[in-house]
Amino acid sequence: MKRAPSFKAKTTPSPKLRLNANHQQAKRSRSKPAAPETCCPSSKDRATSADLWKCFLYCNGLMDHLYVCENGSGCTSWYKTPNHFRGTVDAFVKITRYEGVRSLWSGLPPTLVMAVPATVIYFTCYDQLRDFLRYGMGYQGSQIPLVAGALARLGAVTVISPLELIRTKMQSRQLSYRELHTCIQMAVAQGGWLSLWRGWGPTILRDVPFSALYWFNYELVKAQLCERYSVHEATFKMSFTAGAISGAIAAIMTLPFDVVKTQRQIELGEMETLKVSSRKPTSTWLIMKRIRTESGIRGLFAGFMPRVIKVAPACAVMISTYEFGKAFFQKLNYERELQNL
């Protein structure tokens, strides 16, 4: 029995919409019209033109159609072309309609498994590095948040990169945990344990500049707000506003690297499925050049609105909650010290 595939990713709402935009753009850039005479290539043709013959995916005794009609034309009356998303709202509505509301939160466990330790490592390292540079080394100036943020993110990304890879695979394809485990096993068998850090380079190029820009702008905006309202410590609203503004700026400036990182990571398992070697460029700059050639500048900013919608409020909530928690426990510890005197 044949079943139509679902090209929609599965994760929490905003990452799901953003990855759908990136994945849809990646599929359009990879799609090439097949010859009308045949739909089943020979092994020689399949080996020489993997992108051209991505027609079927066989899994668990079922055959999925990946490429059915040439040039997007309808070749049968019963086949319905998979939905394409015209924007963030359109993607949200269609995913909810065809997969249900719960699908917007599927993939949440691996997201939390990745996000919690990453946030702990990231924020702790930033505070320690900032204080060390400021008080231990005696440096002063606006470059301290920039350097501390970049180094903290470098360490956090390196530790969490395998979990990021697993989460991205669960977003890009509907994989069960057993299928995901098999996919990762095959990748490790072919490429070694370093294959779990696939996409580390683009992730570093995206997240390290992001963190440097984010903390630089955050400290700057927060200081300006404190000066404007004549307060010594930023309030919850000030931290929230500064976090949202700095997060949006950093997200826009680093979006091309996010597109490259996503495209590289969703390719995990494609070579194993098709049993062919990949001839696609692996360099970040070559991939960016290819995307620009095939889709223009807009291709490098695929998923622009979903990413901003996700990152800006996430940064605002995270930093304001973190600052509130620090202030609360500092006050609590101070009161305990006074009671012990």
- Report how far residue 284's alpha carbon sits from residue 64's, in angstroms, rounded to the nearest whole number: 31
Q: What pLDDT, on a 0 to 100 scale, did the predictor assign at position 324?
A: 93
Tokens of 219: 């400290």
Strands 62-65, 56-59: pairing kind: antiparallel
**How many distinct structural domains can be found in the chain?**
2
- Report how far residue 199's alpha carbon sits from residue 217's, in angstroms, rounded to the nearest whole number: 27
Answer yes or no: do 318 and 180 share one domain: yes
User: Which position has the token pair 């998923």?
Assistant: 303
Answer yes or no: do 183 and 144 share one domain: yes
Q: What pLDDT, on a 0 to 100 scale, did the predictor assign at position 149?
A: 95
Q: What pLDDT, on a 0 to 100 scale, did the predictor assign at position 26?
A: 52
In this structure, are residues 291 and 259 in contact, taking their beta carbons and an 8 Å threshold?
yes
Of 60, 78, 101, the one marking the end of a domain is 101
Answer yes or no: do 96 and 125 share one domain: no
Answer yes or no: do 331 and 212 share one domain: yes
Answer yes or no: do 223 and 272 share one domain: yes
Q: What pLDDT, on a 0 to 100 scale, did the predictor assign at position 168?
A: 65
Domain that holds residue 16: 2-101
Answer yes or no: do 151 and 229 share one domain: yes
- Report how far residue 76's alpha carbon sits from residue 32's, in angstroms, rounded to the nearest whole number: 20
Answer yes or no: do 301 and 159 share one domain: yes
3-state secondary structure of 63: strand
- Report how far residue 163's alpha carbon sits from residue 121's, in angstroms, rounded to the nearest whole number: 14
- Report how far residue 105's alpha carbon sits from residue 9's, in angstroms, rounded to the nearest whole number: 11
Instruction: Please list, in sequence order, all residues whose beta carbon lies within 8 angstroms of the beta carbon of residue 235, skipping any fewer than 6 positions away.
Output: none
pTM: 0.61
- Report how far residue 282's alpha carbon sits from residue 22's, in angstroms, rounded to the nearest whole number: 17
Answer yes or no: do 250 and 117 share one domain: yes
Answer yes or no: do 74 and 113 share one domain: no
Of 101, 119, 136, the one marking the end of a domain is 101
Distance between first and last Cα of the chain: 77
Answer yes or no: do 94 and 178 share one domain: no
Answer yes or no: do 154 and 31 share one domain: no
What CATH code is carried by the domain that includes residue 195? 1.50.40.10
Q: Which of 250, 230, 257, 233 is nearest to 316 (CA)?
A: 250
Of 101, 117, 142, the one marking the end of a domain is 101
Q: What pLDDT, on a 0 to 100 scale, did the predictor assign at position 35?
A: 42
Rg, the chain, Cα only: 23
- Report how far residue 175's alpha carbon sits from residue 186's, in angstroms, rounded to the nearest whole number: 15
Answer yes or no: do 115 and 83 share one domain: no
Which portions of the chain are predicted below pLDDT 50? 1-11, 29-44, 46-50, 53, 65, 67-68, 70, 72-74, 76-81
> b/e for 258-271, b at 16 or more Cβ within 10 A?
bbbbbbbbbbbbbb
Q: What pLDDT, on a 0 to 100 scale, did the predictor assign at position 101?
A: 81
Q: What pLDDT, on a 0 to 100 scale, did the predictor assign at position 274?
A: 52
CA 220 to chain centre: 27
What is the crossing angle of helices 236-253 and 304-340, to 10°? Answer: 140
